[in-house]
Amino acid sequence: MNGQTAPVDLTIDQIGAALDDLLDRRDPNGSSTVLGAGSDDLEAGRRFLGSLVDGGWMVPTWPSRHGGRDADAAEAALIETAMGGYAIADMYPYGVGLNLVGPVLLERGTPDQQDRWLRPIADGSEIWCQMFSEPDAGSDLANVGMRADRDGDEWVLTGSKVWTSRGAYARWGMCLARTDASLAKHRGLTMFAVEMSAPGVEVRPLVQINGDRHFTEVFVSDVRVPDADRIGDLGAGWGLTVETLAHERATIGGRAFGGGDAEEVGLPSWLEEWRNAGRLDGPVERQAAMRSFVEHRVNQMATARAAALADGSAPGPEGSMAKLRSVAAFKSRAYLGKNLRGAAGMLSDSPGHLEFLTAPSMSIRGGTDEVQRNIVGERILGLPGEPRVDKGVAYSELKKSR
Ligand SMILES: Cc1cc2nc3c(=O)[nH]c(=O)nc-3n(C[C@H](O)[C@H](O)[C@H](O)COP(=O)(O)OP(=O)(O)OC[C@H]3O[C@@H](n4cnc5c(N)ncnc54)[C@H](O)[C@@H]3O)c2cc1C
């Protein structure tokens, strides 16, 4: 691969032939990664992205000058299917850049920002994190209190963020901040790119139950951000946040964890393993396993169907349904796998322990299950909205916990 734009309308065999030169085939019995839990192998991911970037295989719909190959949605779907047959490095450290920031920059970034940031995302040389949540702004994300005050060509940011995944090693943070407290809380927000090594940024690690150490809280004290690093228009931060979260939910929901993302015929390896180990000999266990399997297959088929119908437009509230489905399938398998091992499952080195410890967080990260259901209820089913006592009230007038 030499960086040239490849011919359009490739067949899956042609794509496979190109990928054969770059990647190893996937071990069909190997398990997929658990959102990077416990690994964070930055170098493996960087090598992987580096080998794909000239052909634009990782982000095929991006322009070729930014590390893509100008593919349309149909060709991108073929590439994604073909990629399912290869060993994929753990992309978790690179996920915010590839799946959230990149698509948002393509829509809303200035040409200068696209030139500066997209290629380093595609080739893995620059990692991004998502600085949205704060102690008083999680499900109620529009309540963000981080301040951004204008000073000439710069902004001065002050506040704190929490639950910042990848904060420990990210170069850039996509940061939501309040630029006008006199407006209602959804309206006075603006998005910035914050350099994590800038003076005044302090990143403190938070160790998770599954051993992850990239998780952080970030304290931001009088940090100067050039106006050239403002993403989108002044006051457009909430719209960008909703877009980013839709991408995040569609990404989490677009994965069929544990059985490989490619469509499969027959039993997934985890179910075969349970059967071969004699764990499904009892009728109760068999029934529980079948329930898990059905959730897994339905999720896998719904994901494949959504990919086939995709027209390249930005994801909407259907990403919330995908996330709910995929998280339910993941948790069902993780908890049952633990239960089926009986007392031996209590050992920390037992297979599936990492999935078990990671499972609860799946219902929280990217927005909780309850919040996804609210979105589905209001934006897809047209049910009445939740009562909102702060609607139209200036952020500065709202009651705060401190
Ligand atoms: C592993 C992990 C990684 C994360 N990574 C990031 C990251 O990289 N960047 C980032 O910005 N954030 C990140 N988060 C934060 C995550 O988005 C928030 O934790 C989540 O949105 C919930 O917010 P909260 O923790 O403040 O809980 P709260 O909003 O306080 O919610 C507490 C409980 O109340 C329920 N609840 C709240 N409001 C409603 C409602 N209106 N209707 C029904 N139930 C409701 C919730 O469902 C939940 O059960 C991460 C979280 C986890 C666990």
We report the CATH number of the domain holding residue 324 as: 1.20.140.10
Which strand (E) or helix (H) includes residue 80?
helix 73-83
DSSP secondary structure of 162-207: EEETTTTT-SEEEEEEES-TTSBTTTSEEEEEEETTSTTEEEEE--
Output the six-digit token pair for 369: 């299950």
- CA 260 – CA 31 distance, rounded (Å): 7
Cβ–Cβ contacts within 10 Å for residue 10, how many? 19
Q: Are residues 254 and 222 both part of a single domain?
A: no
pLDDT score at 261: 46
Predicted local confidence at residue 251, as pLDDT:
77
- Whole-angstrom Cα distance, residue 256 to residue 253? 8
Tokens 């529009």 correspond to what residue?
A: 142
Same domain assignment for residues 259 and 207: no
Catalytic, out of 75, 248, 295, 355: 248
CB 138 within 8 A of CB 370: no
SS3 339: helix
- If you measure from the C-alpha of residue 163 to the centroid of ligand 1, how many angstroms do you get, rounded to a whole number? 9
Reading the chain (402 residues) residue by residue, the pLDDT tens digits are: 444 444 457 888 999 999 999 999 987 666 555 555 666 789 999 999 999 999 999 999 999 999 999 999 888 888 988 888 888 888 999 999 999 999 999 999 999 999 999 999 999 999 999 999 999 999 999 999 999 999 999 999 999 999 999 999 999 999 999 999 999 999 999 999 999 999 999 999 999 998 888 999 999 999 999 999 999 999 999 999 999 998 888 777 765 444 444 555 678 888 988 999 999 999 999 999 999 999 988 888 887 777 667 676 777 888 888 899 989 999 999 999 999 999 999 998 998 898 899 999 999 999 999 999 999 999 999 999 988 889 889 999 998 876
What pLDDT is stored for residue 305 in this prediction?
75
- Residue 313 is predicted with a pLDDT of 73
Say yes or no: 155 and 268 in one domain: no
317 and 205 both lie in a single domain: no
Say whether both 213 and 319 belong to one domain. Answer: no
50 class by beta-carbon count within 10 Å (0-12 exposed, 13-18 middle, 19+ buried): middle
What's the confidence (pLDDT) of residue 258?
41
Candidate from 244, 365, 372, 376 with most ligand 1 atoms within 8 A of CB, to mutate:
365
Q: Are residues 148 and 209 in the same domain?
A: yes
Residue 397 lies in a domain: no
Residues with CB under 6 A from ligand 1: 129-130, 132-133, 138-139, 163-165, 361, 364-365, 367-368, 370-371, 374, 386
149 and 216 within one domain = yes
CATH number where 97 lies: 1.10.540.10
Q: How many domains does the chain have?
A: 3
Residues 248 and 343 in one domain: yes
SS3 content of the chain, % helix, strand, coil (to 5): 45, 15, 40
Domain assignment of residue 400, yes or no: no
**Burial class of residue 259 (count of CB atoms within 10 Å of its CB; 0-12, 13-18, 19+):** buried
Of 89, 124, 159, the position where a domain reaches its end is 124
Could you list the residue range(s) of the whole structural domain that residue 177 is in?
129-235
**How confident is the model at residue 252, as a pLDDT?**
75
Q: Please give the angle made by the CA atoms of 13, 17 and 18, to the nearest 5 degrees.
A: 120
Could you tell me if 136 and 188 lie in one domain?
yes
